Amino acid sequence: MGKPTGFLEYQRQPIPNRPPLERVKDWKEVHADRNDDDVSTQAARCMDCGTPYCHTGINIGGVASGCPINNLVPEWNDLVYNGRWEEALGRLRKTNNFPEFTGRVCPAPCEGSCVLGVIEPQVTIKNIECSIIDKGWEEGWLPPKPPEQRTGKKVAVIGSGPAGLSCADQLNQAGHEVTVYERADRIGGLLMYGIPNMKLDKRKVVERRVQLMRDEGITFVTKANIGVTHDIEYIRKESDAVVLCCGATQPRNLPIEGRDLDGVHFAMEFLTTNTRSLLDNDFDDTRPAIDAKGKHVVVIGGGDTGTDCVGTSLRHGCASVVQLEIMAKPPGERAPNNPWPEWPRTFKVDYGQEEANEIQGDDPREYLVTTKRMIGNADGAVSELEISGVEWKHHETTKRMGPQDVAGSQRTIKADLVLLAMGFLGPEQTLVEKLGIKTDPRSNVAAPFEKFNTNVEGVFAAGDMRRGQSLVVWAINEGRGAARECDRYLMNRTTLP
């Protein structure tokens, strides 16, 4: 633990974000610079709670409670409080391959299950985690450490998102020769193109980590769409094992009248083209392919992706941005049916909504709303949305809760750019079908948790491709687990955790 009386003496003080009106003018990370003394003080709030739920990583109420990769939170909090930062980094790296990713983009289920959170604001676990790894990079505590011996075994990892990268990192540490294939032009998958730069800096954070992995012996191949541009059977022949980490990249569509109008895009199209323009030329030569400048933007869907669309649209200089959510507004405090240590399903204001509030004067989210149709102009481009209020009731036929239109609530709103941020349905099926891999009823790859093996000999699967759309931290968990089982398959034993 940290200081025995720290939680009684110090108030929760997260590392602040930069002022909204300042940060919307650039694509730098929203967070302000940390102060090590302040971080150490916050670590002192970690209490001697006896049974720390922060690193349990269990499912309660259908969501993660505690850290899915079982970070040793109390241990590195104590080390940070006592100024032993390098030792804290060692403890952190025992469970987490990429703390610089989770410390920036994870929603922190660890904090939701913090025991202190029962009576006081929880410990700033996520900030402390990110501070440890950032200090490690700054101090030079992360030199390349390639394995001392190689096993002679070759593994192909398909997909370079968090699951693929963590799997590759673990297998490389075990001494195998690892090649990671990525169909995009840059390594990182979701980390590179699915999360905007103001949440996760691509050059400073993502590419820095990828370069370290190269220096440790991992081979990366980009523009490799396996099953389309590259033959999967050839890769299988050249490898002793294959691990599929291709993500759940089929976006949920909205098949209503007007969906085919110009100006209607999936959220990931918008975010990807934006990041690509930023990395290719810093927007110096051309605007992004999907541009929100001067437009009335409507984001359909909540969650992190919806927030990212809001923040990106504001940085483009949109005329306005509205975010439509079909669910009700969450309560300000835990509801009786959402007790600790479940993930708190409470109202939160993320960076994008905070920025919109400063610029537009109110929160951009509208709750209990559904879109009925999209209306176009004479040029075939979207210009308005017809929306309706809903209430959640039991359907007489299905006997299930569902949204029903509220009579007389129909209206239209301006919409020059519509972004669909309604989540993902599952993995694309091209590679799955070519390999003859069995899927579950949700179209995810059928591979048992903790085993990760498919019905095809020597082929494993991990991450969103196996479990469905989830968190970066769960992807890291799955990548590590698949690496362990792949290593066991190759060597008949394993020392990987």
Q: What is the pLDDT of residues 429-470, one digit of tens each?
A: 999 999 999 999 999 999 999 999 999 999 999 999 999 999
Band (pLDDT 50/70/90 cuts) for residue 394 is confident
- Buried b / exposed e over 318-334, threshold 16 CB at 10 Å, is bebbbbbbbeeebeeeb
Instruction: Reply yes or no on whether the pLDDT at 64 is more than 90.
Output: no
Q: Which of 428, 489, 493, 463 is nearest to 161 (CA)?
A: 463
Rounded CA-CA distance 224/185 in Å is: 9
CA 407 to chain centre: 38
Do residues 133 and 92 lie in contact, with contact meaning Cβ atoms separated by under 8 Å?
yes
Beta carbons of 246 and 183 less than 8 angstroms apart? no
Neighbouring C-beta atoms of residue 19, cutoff 10 Å: 13
- The pLDDT of 359-369, averaged and rounded, is 97
Domain boundaries, the chain: 6-139, 154-249+425-491, 253-422
Residue 189 has pLDDT above 80, yes or no: yes
What per-residue confidence (pLDDT) applies to 1? 64
CA R_g for the chain:
23
Question: Which pLDDT score, from 0 to 100, does residue 477 have?
Answer: 97
The pLDDT of residue 285 is 63
CATH topology of domain 253-422: FAD/NAD(P)-binding domain (3.50.50)
State mean pLDDT over 30-58: 93
State whether residue 155 is helix, strand or coil: strand
How do residues 118-169 score in pLDDT, each as one tens digit?
A: 999 999 999 999 999 999 999 999 999 999 999 999 999 999 999 999 999 9
**pLDDT computed for residue 97 by the predictor:** 98
Average pLDDT of 398-422?
94
- What is the structure's pLDDT at 286? 73
pLDDT of res. 201: 98
Determine whether 151 is exposed, middle or buried from the number of CB atoms within 10 Å of its CB (0-12, 13-18, 19+): middle
Structure tokens, 186: 């840059």
pTM for the full predicted model? 0.95
Please state whether 227 falls in left (phi above 0), alpha (psi between -120 and 50) or beta: left
pLDDT category of residue 22 using cuts at 50, 70 and 90:
very high
* Superfamily classification of domain 6-139: Alpha-helical ferredoxin (1.10.1060.10)
Mean pLDDT rounded to a whole number for the chain: 96
Which is it for strands 241-244 and 296-300: parallel, antiparallel or unpaired? unpaired
Same fold, 6-139 and 154-249+425-491: no
Single-letter residue type at 50: G
Q: What is the DSSP letter of 381?
A: B
- Give me the mean pLDDT over the 374-399 stretch: 93
Beta bridge partners of 374: 385
Q: At what angle do helices 162-173 and 472-491 cross, to 10 degrees?
A: 40
pLDDT bucket at 241, cuts 50 / 70 / 90: very high
Higher confidence at residue 54 or residue 287? 54
- At residue 399, the pLDDT reads 78
Distance CA 477, CA 95 (A): 9
Kindly indicate the confidence band of residue 186, based on its pLDDT and cuts at 50, 70 and 90: very high
Percent of the chain predicted with pLDDT > 90: 93
Any idea what DSSP says for residue 440?
A: -
Q: Which residues contact 260 (CB under 8 A, 6 or more apart)?
A: none
Q: What is the mean pLDDT of residues 313-331?
A: 97
Total number of residues shown for the chain: 497
Tens of pLDDT, residue by residue over 242-290, are 999 999 999 999 999 999 999 999 999 999 999 999 999 887 767 888 9
Confidence bin at 70 (pLDDT 50/70/90)? very high
Residue 396 pLDDT level (bands cut at 50, 70, 90):
confident
* 259: helix, strand or coil: coil
Q: Which one is the CATH code of 154-249+425-491: 3.50.50.60, 3.80.30.20, 3.40.640.10, 3.40.50.300?
A: 3.50.50.60
Kindly indicate the confidence band of residue 326, based on its pLDDT and cuts at 50, 70 and 90. very high
Residues 50, 53, 57, CA angle at the centre, nearest 5°?
A: 145
pLDDT digits (tens, 9 = 90+) for 87-96: 999 999 999 9
Q: What does the pLDDT read at residue 50?
A: 85
Give residue 62's pLDDT.
78
Give the SS3 label for residue 120. Answer: coil
